[in-house]
Structure 1
Amino acid sequence: MTDRRNFLKTTLLASSALALPRLSRAAATLAGSVPGNVGARVVSTWDFGVPANIAAWGVLGKGGKPLDAVETGVMVPESDLHNHSVGRAGYPDRDGHVTLDASIMDGDGSCGAVAALEHIGHPIQVARKVMENTPHVLLVADGALEFALQQGFKKEHLLTPESEKAWHEWLKQAKYTPVANSENIDYHRSLQNSLGMPGGKNNHDTIGMLAVDANGRMAGACTTSGMAWKLHGRVGDSPIIGAGLYVDNEVGGATSTGVGEEVIRNAGSFLVVELMRQGRTPQEACEEAVRRIVKKRPQATKDMQVGFLALRRDGECGAYAIQKGFTYAVCDVHQQDRLLASPSLYQTTYT
């Protein structure tokens, strides 16, 4: 996760052309659960969830389907050329390939996903086509690309000049570790300095989004370019239904962020939803999921980040992370640009 830090800028909303001011992490207020029973609501991970939520709200707030809302919402960071952890401007793997992962899920159990997809800037749209136009759930690599082209998507070159420059700089040292640790944090900062890139708080990666309408119908989406400089072919939790994303109209939904390997090992998002089914609040469910991850591998997880975000069908939401620094955005009829700082197991700042 540490290698795939996003530069803290907002994006032009592709769907509404609404420009938002640059967000500061200082604007995030610490929160546990956020009460529900407010009607429709959208929640998503990280600061760039704010503009993504507003795009989604443009659909949901007008009575649109949650599935359409989450697809529209996550396309915003997928389009952001300053976002190096999601979509078309993502950092490549260690061989220079930009490979994208995404999943989408309706509350009725319908779902679709793509993994290790190259040359398509909006993997979330391809994931939805997998859900709607095939009997499958997950397509990967060349097969996913072939399917996308058959569905009318246009092949494009995704390695942007900025990402390519960062990759060549990384090749000088070629440090690759699959976990988020202090060495990688220091390395990423030095990489930013050497390239003249903006510094600041950059612990952003996957965007996961959950939405519920006034009738309790739900959907979710998750999209990422994965861990920068990863082994070619590596796939994290984002396109794995039950790991990076899970939604059930009877209960609620959950999504994750951070080091995907740890989420996969624990079927993290499915776990959160099942804990809510057993009576835990969204906040309590996220906390329990994080604690289980740390309990199983305390030494391996002490310096890495994993966070969960949950939304119950009545609109109550909660979040929890291993390390301090995880933020999430909440959007409903009362406020469209709320940014909250998640509680965490460890209180040392993880930046």
Structure 2
Amino acid sequence: MKRRNFLKSAGVAGLGISVSGDLLAQSLLQNTMQSTTYPVAVATWNFQNAVKKAGEFLSTGSSALDAVEQGVMVEEANLKNTTVGNGGAPDRDGNVTLDACIMSPAGDAGSVVYLHHIEHPVSVARKVMEETPHVMLAGEGALQFAIQQGFKKQELLTEESEKAWKEWLEHKNYKPIINIENHDTIGMLCMDEKGDIAGACTTSGLAYKMNGRVGDSPIIGAGLFLDNEIGGAVATGMGEAVMKSVGSFLIVELMRQGKTPQEACEEAVNRIVAKNTNYQDFQVAFVAMNKKGEIGSYCIHEGFSYAKFQHDEVTNNPSKFYTK
């Protein structure tokens, strides 16, 4: 009996050593991944100041959700950026209307569309996500909600944007010019030190659009989508083409099936090209990140790039493209 009990105890002890060893190995692997891969932040276009701000938050242990909100707010407040936030180009009637959305690692989402007079629509979108039972608020209702939440109304049409709009009115030539400003909608993905992913997308939309037009940026699954078990994707460019393809959702699902972020982005662009015979006339670009912190990007035309914060470095990275 004593011998049998001894062997049983020895077996249990051996199992304990084995389990402890496995746990230790997993812990070491996790720590190694954290030190070599993330935290990381990526954003459409060369918005280095935005990813730098997000990186500062991530580096001090902030959540991916806080980092992504603070990151895109940099461009919402940038008066020189005429496609996002304050100073954005107006619609045909001279109204600056803003669209934005945000997603948390838990899969929760908030969105605002056709929002007037609020500099930071991404923050209003987060309030929609956290303080209401809804996902999206629009127009006057979104503005009323923002004011109730403490946001202040302000004039978003700058002298420069107003001057450019009045010059446009003389000819009313309604045609997007590919990469002309080398910046556009900002979509951002952040992965924090825990490996959790959050995303945000914010824009003033297509310059001189029809009054009431909404693009892909605030649409969950089009301008932004993420699944914290798989990864996330963001879009920029001609919103109508992105909406018709549900591009960001498509990319995440392709990554779920085993494709790399790069392969998934290329497939999404290829489908848009195949469905639009006029693809030569507009730009669409995607940026994606998986749970390993691997990043991919692809666009229709040369000229798109994405900004990245990783390893305490901020870089601008030209994207691969479809047209030669």
Q: Do both proteins adopt the same fold according to a TM-score greater than 0.5, normalized to the shorter chain?
A: yes
CA distance in 2, matches of 1:338, 1:175: 35
Q: 1:225 pairs with 204, 219, 222, which one?
A: 204
- Alignment of 1:213 with 2:211, yes or no, is no
Amino acid at match of 1:145: L
Residues 227, 201 of structure 1: alpha-carbon distance in 2 compared, 3 angstrom cutoff: closer
Which residue number in structure 2 is paired with residue 109 of structure 1?
107
Preserved CA contact (<8 Å) 1:101 1:115: yes
> By how many angstroms is 1:306 displaced?
0.1
Where in structure 2 are the equivalents of 1:242-253 lying within 5 Å?
242-253=221-232
For 1:59, give the aligned amino acid: F
Q: Distance in 2 between matches of 1:133 and 1:301?
A: 40
Aligned match of 2:295 in 297, 317, 320?
317
CA distances 1:251-272 after superposition (whole Å, capped 9, x unpaired): 0000000000000001000000
Residue-by-residue CA offset, 1:301-337 (whole Å, 9 max, x unaligned): 12210000001111100100001111001101241x2
In the alignment, which residue of structure 2 is the partner of 1:164?
162
User: Is 1:203–2:182 an aligned residue pair?
Assistant: yes
Q: What is the match of residue 216 of structure 2?
A: 237
Letter in 2 for 1:53: V
Encode CA deviations 1:241-293: one digit per residue, 9 max, x unaligned: 00000011100000000000000001000000000000000000000000001
Residue 279 of structure 1 aligns with which residue? 258
Specify the code of the residue in structure 2 equivalent to 1:268.
G
Match of 1:340 in 2: 317
**For 2:307 and 2:264, how far apart are their aligned partners in 1?**
18
The 8 Å contact of residues 36 and 311 in structure 2, kept in 1 or not, is answered as: no
Distance in 1, Cα, partners of 2:283 & 2:303: 9
Q: Identity rate of aligned residues, in percent?
A: 57
Q: Residue 235 of structure 1 aligns to which amino acid in structure 2?
A: V
User: Following the alignment from structure 2 to structure 1, what is the Cα–Cα distance between the partners of residues 55 and 36?
Assistant: 17
The match for 2:304 is: 326
Determine the C-alpha separation between the residues in 1 that align with 2:92 and 2:311: 44
Q: Is the partner of 2:195 in helix, strand or coil?
A: coil
Calculate the aligned-residue CA RMSD, in Å: 1.4
Unaligned runs of 5+ in 1: 1-35, 186-199
Question: Deviations for 1:56-115, whole angstroms, at most 9, x for unmatched residues?
Answer: 111111111000000000000111111100001100000000000000001211110101
1:38 corresponds to 2:16: no
Contact 1:111 1:131 in 2 (8 A): yes
Shift of 1:37: 5.1
Is this contact kept in 2: 1:44–1:209, CA < 8 A? Answer: yes
Q: SS where residue 89 of structure 2 aligns?
A: coil
Q: Which residue of the partner structure matches residue 119 of structure 2?
A: 121
Aligned equivalent of 2:286: 308
Structure 2, unmatched stretches of 5+, are 1-34
**Greater relative CO, 1 or 2 (CA 8 Å, sep 6+):** 1
> 1:216 and 1:248 mapped to 2: Cα distance?
12
Q: Bigger radius of gyration, 1 or 2? A: 2
Is the 1:222–1:239 Cα contact (8 Å) retained in structure 2?
A: yes
Given the alignment of the two structures, is residue 96 of structure 1 paired with residue 94 of structure 2, yes or no? yes
SS in structure 2 opposite 1:103? strand
Kindly provide the amino acid, as one letter, of the partner of residue 115 in structure 1.
Answer: V
Q: Is the aligned partner of 1:71 residue 2:69? A: yes
Q: Helix, strand or coil: the match of 1:87?
A: coil
Q: Does structure 2 conserve the Cα–Cα contact (< 8 Å) formed by 1:37 and 1:315?
A: no
- SS of the residue 1:220 aligns to: strand
Secondary structure of 1:210's aligned partner: strand
Partner of 1:10 in structure 2?
A: none
* Letter of the 1:157 counterpart: E
Distance in 1 between the 2:257 and 2:141 partners? 39
